[in-house]
Amino acid sequence: MIRAKHHPVIYPLFQLLTRYLLKRKFNSVHIGGDFDDDGNAVLVIANHISWWDGFWIMYVNLRIIRRRFHFMMLEEQLKKHWYFQYTGGFSVRKKSRSIVESIRYTTDLLSCKENMVFMFPQGEINSIYNHSIRFEKGAQHIIDAGSDDLQVVFIANFIDYFSDTRPNLYIYLQKIPAGELKNNQLEQAYSNFYTQALLTQQQKVS
């Protein structure tokens, strides 16, 4: 597998690019929900709806979570976009024995309080209009193998234009202790969170 690195130039540039793009391309960015940081490592679970998702999670990290940034990518994509390795990207190969190594590597990262890892457990980009949440098993394995003190942060991202020419980004988050998500509880817990976030967003329109 390809392991994450944080290049002394590329990583800070990625952070600066994140701030620049969100300011330039979006009319506004709203973050809803609380993150009561207890100092432990953070695993972020988010919906995967666009090319923008990684930038949005980086923005949340810069604003709220403030950890060393890591993220899991499909190996073929990471080889194609090699520069992401130097911003915290590491690889996973689906339907391969090496997935065990990727899960172990993620668990090791999350044993360090200074780290955060984000994942898209759906495994692929889904339409923003697809509200059925189905996870692959990797994220649940990581939670089951890790500490109960791990901070798991659910994130749901939504876009609305309303009367603006540029989109407005709405980010909802919720922290849940990993101990409450053991034994196949992750998918249902995230689905419940996502449904509530969606209802909150719909109320902004009605």
Percent of the chain with pLDDT over 70: 99
Q: Count Cβ neighbours within 10 Å for each residue of 41-73 and write b for 16 or more, e otherwise.
A: bbbbbbbebeebbbbbbbbbbeebbebbbbbbb
Q: What is the pLDDT of residues 98-114, one digit of tens each?
A: 889 999 999 999 999 99
Average pLDDT rounded to a whole number, residues 49-55: 92
Question: Looking at the predicted structure, is the pLDDT value of residue 145 above 90?
Answer: yes
Q: Which residues pair with 118 in a beta bridge?
A: 44, 71
What per-residue confidence (pLDDT) applies to 36? 95
| Across 156-164, average pLDDT | 94
Confidence of residue 165 (pLDDT cuts 50, 70, 90): very high
Mean pLDDT of 136-148: 93
Please report the pLDDT score of residue 132 as a whole number. 78
What is the rounded end-to-end Cα distance, in angstroms, of the chain?
47
pLDDT for res 136? 86
Residue 206 above 60 pLDDT? no
CA dist 64 and 71 (Å) reads: 17
Residue 85's pLDDT is what?
Answer: 96
pLDDT at res. 112: 97
Give the pairing type, strands 28-32 and 168-177: parallel
Domains of the chain: 10-205 (3.40.1130.10)
Give the chain's mean pLDDT.
93
How confident is the model at residue 205, as a pLDDT?
Answer: 62
- Residue 157, pLDDT > 90, answer yes
pLDDT tens per residue across span 5-47:
999 999 999 999 999 999 999 999 999 998 999 999 999 999 9
Instruction: Give the model's pLDDT for residue 118.
Output: 95
